[in-house]
Amino acid sequence: MQKVEHIGIAVKNLEASKKLFESLLNTFCYKVESVESEMVSTAFFKVGDTKIELLETTNPEGAVGKFIEKRGEGLHHIAYEVADIHAEIKRLKAAGFVFTRQEPFRGADNKMVIFLHPKSTNGVLIELCQEIVGG
């Protein structure tokens, strides 16, 4: 793993939360994006070398919708940048970690992503992400 790429925060209202985080972080949101496969709308902020991703569900049955229903708004996941997502998946599976899916998929911000199940990471949802080259 190379670095913390971003921190994901589940929110109920993306527009209201964008304003809150613009004020809190003293910077503007640089990208808003919808990820239909994950049933979320996202907003990104850059703070130093790290990004903050706000996630609002577009469907209460999606993972973020269920998360907010169960736990409320707040820290959703920590994402780590990796150089080779397939090699990291293989390494982590061999070490006994469990993933929420079998294969990585296209996520927000031009990344291939996959999540480690929180049951295998002390209750923290971990995302691995790799930049899509030429994407």
- Is the model's pLDDT at 135 over the cut of 70? no
Question: For 60-81, what is each residue's pLDDT tens digit?
Answer: 999 999 999 999 999 999 999 9
Cβ–Cβ contacts within 10 Å for residue 67, how many?
Answer: 19
Question: Residue 73 and residue 94: Cα distance in Å, rounded?
Answer: 33
SS (H, E, C) the chain: CCEEEEEEEEECCHHHHHHHHHHHHCCCCCEEEEEHHHCEEEEEEEECCEEEEEEEECCCCCHHHHHHHHHCCEEEEEEEECCCHHHHHHHHHHCCCCECCCCCEECCCCEEEEEECHHHCCCCCEEEEEECCCC
Strands 126-131 and 3-11: unpaired
pTM of the model: 0.92
Tokens for 78? Answer: 């920590």
- Is the model's pLDDT at 40 over the cut of 70? yes
C-alpha Rg value of the chain to the nearest Å: 15
At residue 133 the predicted structure's pLDDT band, cuts being 50, 70 and 90, is confident
- Is the model's pLDDT at 134 over the cut of 80? no
**For the residues 99-103, what does the mean pLDDT come to?**
95
